[in-house]
Chains A and B, each alone.
Chain A
Amino acid sequence: MERSSFATRSVQLAFLAVVAGAWFFATETGSVTPLFLPKPASVYVALERLVKTASFWSAVMVTLTTIAKAFAIAIVAGVLAGYAITRSKLATQVIEPVIAGLFTVPITLFFPMFILFFGIGTGSKVAYGATYAFFPIALNTIAAFSNMEERYLRAARSMGAGQFDTFRHVLLPGALPVLITGMRIGFFICFASVLGGETISSVAGIGRNIALAAELMESARMYAWITFVIATSVTLNLLVYSLENHIRSR
């Protein structure tokens, strides 16, 4: 990030203050209906009430296990497929543009098919999240392993390194930064697509609860859920960035 002086910090704080103030005044004066924008206090009360219910935690657990399953499948499939493809220059040239091209088409299009194949339960969300996260992970695995400098490999071989040693000491450390970037992007795509899948069509989970609150016009509860999702996602972002820096600095 850029240098953060006192002046830039105060501009950011002023921005937040203006947003919070606008929210407060618009709801206090009643110029916005509470259906679209409830009072900050009532959102806080709703959030407090929400986290005390058992159904809140069961919905969170459903979503988290779905994300975990989808991400695990995407990592295994993406890294294995990506690595296998880079073992041949021709395969890389042939297949990589196909994967990259497919990734520019929103996979959300195919969401109704996931529902058709895997039902409306968590299975379709796992498959959908895994498919979405597969692409960045596979693409970055291909980029990581195919851009390896030939002379490093040759040097390792001429110093007597075997297949496994070359992989362990040359290929893997060289590929790791790009690989990890792929996994980070894959994780957040997985997170967003599982939430999106639950929002569009589901029976349980966080996304379903947001949609349900909207359908019932309980906007305070909906804002409480959204607040929870945003807080979770900001926390996850910070966690993943520090984890990434930690792995890279080793």
Chain B
Amino acid sequence: MSDLASPQNSPALAASPGVFARALRKPLWLRVALLAGVVALLEFYGRLYADPAFMSPPSLIVKAFFDKIAPQPKILEALWFCVAQIAAAYALSVVFGILIGLLIGASGFSRSAFLPIILLLYAIPQVSLLPLVILMFGLGPAAKIAFGFSHGIFPIIMNVVAGMRDVKELHLRAARSMGASRMDTIRHVILPHAVPSLFTGLRLGMTLTLLGVILAELYVSTGGIGYFTRVFAESYDPAPLFALTGCLAIIAVIFNELVRIAQNHLTPGKRRPPTLKNSVKE
């Protein structure tokens, strides 16, 4: 159990600078070892010390998934609803985000007139509107899709506008001097240039869509995921709660990965947004 957790300290491996030692110096394997170590620690702590009303070791969480989550069609249905809501909210965010972004970014005038309005709307803490959204759209999927959509659309708009703005004057002038019309310039110069920034927006938009849908799911405690989390939390039954949360986390990771894969395949020339890749900007 603990041999995975601390591979560097293992004398046998340190003594032989062979394939294993070299593999262990690779960040990926160390990362896997680190995560395995955390899981092992949780298992150890959960089995021996933790209060079973609050904590559950990972093995029991996996067991709870098969015993209490998978056989219950109502929970599975709630999970599927969640997936469908995220997909719908994200699709709406992408379509309207790109459309509005293109309209705002199309000219310097529209940008300086409308971008401040978008920034102002983006600065509003949207959670304060959550009860209002539920009041308007009801307890069903419509409210969750609306709330996810209102979260996801803003980063997409802003990154589309930003991508269209940063086109080099030189490229624009070159296109014009070679006889490109306004439409040609947009189609062949501005749009390809905006793609990397667009994908930054799409990834951020996915993160925020997930946030919006899940916030709304948890707020509505009479049905869907929120109902089951409340039931498990109130009955001090942590294992199925952790298992359900784990399912949602896996769904979130899959959605994020889909966008990342799309980014890697669809970015022309695999251009990436500038470095400092994980510093959080906006």
Beta-carbon contacts of A120-151 to B below 8 Å, as 1s and 0s? 00000000000000011001101110010000
Are A139 and B279 interface neighbours, CB within 8 A? yes
Known pairs A90-B30, A234-B120; A3 contacts B112 (CB<8 A): yes
Flag whether A176 is at the interface (Cβ < 8 A): no
Beta-carbon contacts of A95-113 to B below 8 Å, as 1s and 0s? 1111010011110111111
Are A94 and B31 interface neighbours, CB within 8 A? yes
Are A95 and B34 interface neighbours, CB within 8 A? yes
Flag whether A214 is at the interface (Cβ < 8 A): yes
Known pairs A112-B230, A230-B124; A147 contacts B278 (CB<8 A): no
Binding site of B, secondary structure by majority: helix, strand, loop or mixed?
Answer: helix
In chain B between 116 and 165, which residues have their CB closer than 8 angstroms to a CB of chain A?
Answer: 116-117, 120, 123-132, 134-136
Q: How many residues of B contact A (CB 8 A)?
A: 59
Closest CB in chain A relative to B86 CB, distance in Å: 10
Are B114 and A233 interface neighbours, CB within 8 A? no
Known pairs A106-B211, A117-B54, A230-B128; A98 contacts B112 (CB<8 A): no
Flag whether B97 is at the interface (Cβ < 8 A): no
Flag whether A22 is at the interface (Cβ < 8 A): no
Beta-carbon contacts of B270-282 to A below 8 Å, as 1s and 0s? 0000001011111
Binding site of A, secondary structure by majority: helix, strand, loop or mixed?
Answer: helix
Give every chain B residue within 8 A of A106 (Cβ-Cβ).
207, 210-211, 214, 252
Closest CB in chain A relative to B4 CB, distance in Å: 14
A237 nearest in chain B by CB position: B123
Chain B interface residues toward A at CB < 8 A: 25, 27, 30-31, 34-35, 54, 108-109, 111-117, 120, 123-132, 134-136, 203, 207, 210-211, 214-215, 218-219, 221, 229-230, 232-233, 236, 238, 241-242, 245, 248-249, 252-253, 256, 276, 278-282
28 examples of A-B residue contacts, CB within 8 angstroms: A2-B111, A8-B113, A12-B114, A15-B114, A95-B34, A105-B249, A105-B253, A105-B256, A106-B207, A108-B211, A112-B232, A112-B233, A115-B233, A140-B280, A181-B279, A181-B280, A191-B125, A199-B219, A200-B215, A200-B219, A201-B218, A201-B221, A210-B130, A213-B131, A215-B131, A229-B128, A230-B124, A237-B123
